[in-house]
A and B are shown apart, each in its own frame.
Chain A
Amino acid sequence: MEPTFRASLNWLHTWAGVVLGGLLFAIFWMGTLSVFDREIDRWMAPMTRLPVAEPAFSYEKLRSAYDAAAAAKSPSWFATLPTEREPFVRTSWRERQDFIVRLLDPATGEALPDPGTWAGTRFLFPFHYMLHVKLWQLGYWIVGVAAMAMMALCVSGVVVHRKIFVDFFTFRAEKQSRRLLLDLHNVTGVLGLPFYFVISLSGLIIFFAVYFPGTAQLAYDGGQRAFTRDAYGQYERPKAGQPGTLGSLDAMVAEARALWGGAPVRYLFVRNPGDAAAYVQIGRLGEDRVAGNGDVAFFDAGTGALLHQRSGYKPVMGVQQFISGLHLMQFRHWVLRWVYFGLGMAGCVLIATGYLFWLESRRKKHAQLGLRGVRIVEGLTLGSVTGILAATLAFFAVNRLLPLESSFLGQDRAALEIWTFCLVWLASFAHAWLRPRRAWIEQCWTLAALATAAVLLNWLTTGDHLARSLSQGHLWSIAGIDLLLLAGAAMAALSARRLQRRAVALPDSRQLAVRASQAAAE
């Protein structure tokens, strides 16, 4: 559309970045936090900070949760078993419209008090891939558009920057801020390029059936359901409509483990609990490989007889599972987990500096021409970058402030936390619009204050201060979150101070104009 290929892609890079950058930042930020979703869960739900469970665990302890699901006539019942990152049993089912989650202490089988929070796995992680917009799967589609845009931004970014390898080794921290921003944008961009491209593509590939529903629809008479049955070797049988009993879960798990050479179990899933035709699906723990292992066994719930088993995937599906596994990172590898976190943060810096470079290279010109673009984009940037950070930190802080079982105006505790997140996020946009000159400094100080408050509140309400959490192995996840919060607070405070000094050193353009006219008058 522009005279040259490079100019066209420059146009695409600039506009896609400015229009979708805020959305991309939100997705990257939530995705980066989701790397430590289980650790955040334990930080936000202190009753789950349990020592790692002993291996001799009786599955009969799950029976009361199963009976509750059967009594509620839930279409299914699900239980995940303790792991290193999640040392408790998580059971879930439906009661009419409500999705019930009950956590069990694996040592006693007793239900833990309701944590009253959606924390990492139920709030931050789904926000990352569907923005909690359920209507018509709109959230998935918005995130899909953003992921396609991210890939287009990667390609156009490479084309736009001629001296990509020179830029990679260039970081002029002492030069003027515009040059510094572009250097930072280029360094994070080139360093993480393969990561940003693959993470966007793999995110799309996880939900290929959502984004391209037509393929399965046309290839199978029974549509998506028939495809799923065929592709994953899924066992299914209809409801009998008569009550049934549940046999020995311990015996079923033992038989499943015998099929897999004694390997541990990750989850149990029952279709139509309490029905005579209910069946138990048992999945093998797959944290030793990227793609998981696809080993699943199906048992008759009443008799405990093995109905069906499958192992591994067909080749192309194996590739899809590997690519999904790369993104979801359920394998056990702490070094790689931190690398993912670092690259995710680099992605956040990439998006933020892209915005800042756009602003700095237009600020003067827009002021001269009387255009409002810079003001609007600056408000958008503040709300999308520091705003969502403040909202997340407020979500953490309020989690430690609200007592269990608290409610307000008919909203339960978990909803109050989410309201706090949304209101703080909205307020950050309003603040950015009302106080454009001071907003960066004030929002940075807010971040520092909120992050510090979260750490202090965690200490006051749970007694798990750093000295204690660092000295006990099962509390390292708490120590990790606290240390990240403190590092974030320090960075926010440093940024605020640097911005304040620069604001003093560089008076704004109006003052400059006044001084220039005074000088001319003299």
Chain B
Amino acid sequence: MRGAVPIIVRLIAAIGGGYVVSAGLAAFAAVGLPMVSSLPRSEAVVLASMLAFLVYLAVLIWGFAERRLVRLCGLLSVTAAASWGSALGLARLFPPG
């Protein structure tokens, strides 16, 4: 019998962490894509949001398949910090109209 704590940590990491990461990547793409391509801003928002659901799904599956809990939590934290950091940074450096 496994303890309940690792299961709870994994649920929070996969479901909560997965959401934060996919929302962060979507925000980064929505802000960043119009800067590096000719994609209009509204189109970047829609594209990033639609793809974020698939990213979230992939993270969910990985979250329950990855055996090393430390690696799961570590990678999710790093990606969450990096995506939200760069999204917020870009939005501050190049303020939207």
Contact = CB atoms under 8 A, between A and B. Distances in A.
Given A212-B52, A215-B30, A1 B87 contact: no
Interface stretch (A288-296, A298-306, A310-318, A462-470): A310-318
A148 B56 contact: yes
Contacts of A316: 39, 43, 46-47, 50
A314 B97 contact: no
A320 B15 CA distance: 25
Nearest to A215: B30
B88 interface: yes
B11 to A, nearest CB: 10
A1 B66 contact: yes
A208 interface: yes
Contacts of A151: 53, 57
A484 to B, nearest CB: 33
A229 B19 CA distance: 27
B64 A231 contact: no
Interface in A211-227: 211-212, 214-216, 218-221, 227
B96 A204 contact: no
Contacts of B31: 218-219
A350 B61 CA distance: 21
* A interface SS class: helix
A218 B60 contact: no
Contacts of B34: 219
Contacts of A12: 61, 64
Interface string A166-194: 00000000000000000000000000000
A208 B23 contact: no
B45 A9 contact: no
Contact of B27 (A5, A218, A323): A218
Nearest to B65: A8
A227 B42 contact: yes
A319 B49 CA distance: 12
Interface string A126-157: 00000000000000000001001001100110
A219 B26 contact: no
B97 A152 contact: no
A315 B43 contact: yes
Interface size class of A (residues with CB under 8 A): 35 or more
A156 B10 contact: no
B96 A219 contact: yes
B27 A214 contact: yes
Contact of B91 (A5, A205, A218, A323): A218
A69 B2 CA distance: 62
B50 A227 contact: no
B45 A216 contact: yes
Given A1-B10, A1-B66, A214-B26, A231 B46 contact: yes
B56 to A, nearest CB: 6
B41 A201 contact: no
B64 A216 contact: no
B95 interface: yes
Which of B27, B29, B87, B88 is the most central at the interface, judged by chain A CB atoms within 10 Å of its CB?
A: B27
Contact of A209 (B39, B49, B97): B49
Given A215-B49, A219-B44, A220-B41, A155 B30 contact: no
A231 B48 CA distance: 14
B44 to A, nearest CB: 7
B91 A231 contact: no
Given A9-B65, A221-B96, A215 B57 contact: no
B21 to A, nearest CB: 12
A219 B49 contact: no
Which of B39, B91, B96, B97 is the most central at the interface, judged by chain A CB atoms within 10 Å of its CB?
A: B96
A430 B29 CA distance: 49
A219 B32 CA distance: 9
Given A148-B56, A214-B27, A317-B42, A221 B49 contact: no
Interface in A6-58: 8-9, 11-12
Interface of A: 1-3, 5, 8-9, 11-12, 145, 148, 151-152, 155-156, 201, 204-205, 208-209, 211-212, 214-216, 218-221, 227, 230-231, 314-317, 319-320, 323
Interface of B: 10, 15, 22-24, 26-27, 29-31, 34, 39-50, 52-54, 56-57, 60-61, 64-67, 69, 87-88, 91, 95-97
Given A1-B64, A212-B27, A219-B41, 17 more contacts: A1-B10, A9-B61, A145-B15, A152-B57, A204-B53, A205-B50, A208-B53, A211-B49, A211-B53, A214-B87, A218-B87, A227-B45, A231-B43, A314-B43, A320-B46, A320-B50, A323-B50
Closest 5 A/B residue pairs (Cβ): A231-B42, A208-B49, A215-B30, A316-B43, A12-B64
14 contacts: A1-B65, A152-B60, A212-B48, A212-B49, A214-B26, A215-B26, A215-B30, A218-B31, A218-B96, A219-B27, A219-B96, A220-B45, A314-B43, A317-B43
